[in-house]
Amino acid sequence: MAPSDRNREQARVALEQHLGYGFKDRALLNRALTHRSAEADHNERLEFLGDGVLNFTIAAALFEQCPDAPEGDLSRLRASLVRETTLAAIAKEIELGAAIVLGPGEMRNGSRRRASILADGVEALLGAIYCENGFDAAKRVILHLYAQRLTDLPSAASLKDAKTQLQEWLQARSRSRPEYELVEVTGADHCQHFVSRCRLADSGDSVEGEGGGRRKAEQDAARRMLEKLGADS
C-alpha cells in the first residue's frame, strides 16, 4: 500500500471511531468521501439522501424533547442544528477533512477546510450509513454526533434574526412596522457593499447598517435599531 493510501485509510479508521460506526462496504465509504472534483463516482447523491435523513432525525428529536414548543421555534432550532456552519463544526470534531478525496485544483485551493465541502461530507456519510445499514443505524450516528448540542439547545428566541426581533418588539408595543431603504451600493459586481437605513415612522428614529448584500445590510440596521431602543438585551 502506497504511503498516501495508507494515510488515507488511517484517517478513515479514525473517522469511523468518531462516528461510532464501521463501514463493511469500503467502496461505499470511498464514494461518501469523494468530492465531485476528484472523480465521476462522487458523493452528491449520498449527500442528498443524508440531508433528508438528518433533517427528519433532528426534527423528530426536537419534537420529542420540546413538547411545548410551537412550530416556529422548532423550525428555528432545527435550522440552527442542520445549517452549514454546524455541520462543518461537526466535521472538524470527527476529523473528516483528512479523509476527504479532492481533485488537484481543490487540493491546491485548500478546500479540505472549506465549510461547504465539510458539511456536504457529513451528509454524504449519513446517506452512506443509511444505504448500508438502514435508518436506525443512521439515526444512532446522528444522535451520537448531536448529543451535546441537543443537550445544550439555545433558546428559540435567541435564534430569531434581528429584523424579526425588531418587528416583534415594536408590535408588542403597538408601534408601526419599521421601514427599510437602500441608501448606497458601492464596489465591483463581485464584491458589492450595501448600506441600508432602518426608520421608525412613528418616532422618526433612523439608523444605518451595512453588509455584503442588501439583506445583510438590513439585518445590520435592524440590529443597530434594537441597540438604540435598548431592546437587544
- Find out whether 40 and 116 touch, Cβ atoms under 8 Å: no
Last residue of one domain, picked from the residues 154, 174, 200 = 154
pLDDT at 39: 79
Give pLDDT tens digits for 122-162. 999 999 999 999 999 999 999 999 999 999 998 877 778 89
Last residue of one domain, picked from the residues 123, 154, 185 = 154
The one catalytic residue in 9, 44, 51, 152 is 51
Query: Domain containing 112 — which CATH number?
Result: 1.10.1520.10
pLDDT at 112: 65
Ordered alpha helix ranges (H), 152-213:
162-172
pLDDT at 16: 95
Give pLDDT tens digits for 38-73. 878 899 999 999 999 999 999 999 999 999 999 989
pTM as predicted: 0.73
The question of whether 123 is a catalytic residue gets the answer yes
Q: How far is CA 27 from CA 46, 126, 132, in A?
A: 13, 15, 11
Give pLDDT tens digits for 199-221. 999 999 999 999 999 999 999 99
Q: Which residues pair with 194 in a beta bridge?
A: 185, 211
Reported in sequence order, the residue ranges of the chain that DSSP labels E, i.e. its strands, are: 179-186, 193-199, 206-211
Binding site residues for Mg(2+), as ranges?
47, 120, 123
**Which range has the top average pLDDT, 5-9, 105-109, 153-157, 160-164?**
160-164
Whether residue 149 is found in the same domain as residue 169: no
Domain that holds residue 116: 3-154
Q: Which residues pair with 179 in a beta bridge?
A: 199
Whether residue 183 is found in the same domain as residue 85: no
Whether residue 55 is found in the same domain as residue 77: yes
Whether residue 18 is found in the same domain as residue 93: yes
Q: How many domains does the chain have?
A: 2
Whether residue 92 is found in the same domain as residue 168: no
Continuous segment of H or E residues that includes residue 16: helix 3-19
Whether residue 57 is found in the same domain as residue 149: yes
Query: Domain containing 177 — which CATH number?
Result: 3.30.160.20
Whether residue 211 is found in the same domain as residue 98: no
Continuous segment of H or E residues that includes residue 142: helix 135-145
Last residue of one domain, picked from the residues 154, 189, 211 = 154
The one catalytic residue in 106, 123, 218, 220 is 123
Provide the grid cell at 55.
433533517
Give pLDDT tens digits for 158-167. 778 899 889 9
Residue 89: pLDDT above 80? Answer: yes
Whether residue 148 is found in the same domain as residue 174: no
Whether residue 177 is found in the same domain as residue 223: yes
pLDDT at 88: 95
Give pLDDT tens digits for 115-127. 899 999 999 999 9
Phi-psi region of 101 (alpha: psi -120 to 50; beta: other; left: phi over 0): beta
What is the percentage of the chain residues whose pLDDT exceeds 90?
A: 74
Residue 143 has a CB neighbour count (10 Å cut-off) of: 14
Whether residue 140 is found in the same domain as residue 170: no
pLDDT band per the 50, 70, 90 thresholds, residue 2:
very low
Whether residue 149 is found in the same domain as residue 166: no
The question of whether 51 is a catalytic residue gets the answer yes
Whether residue 54 is found in the same domain as residue 124: yes
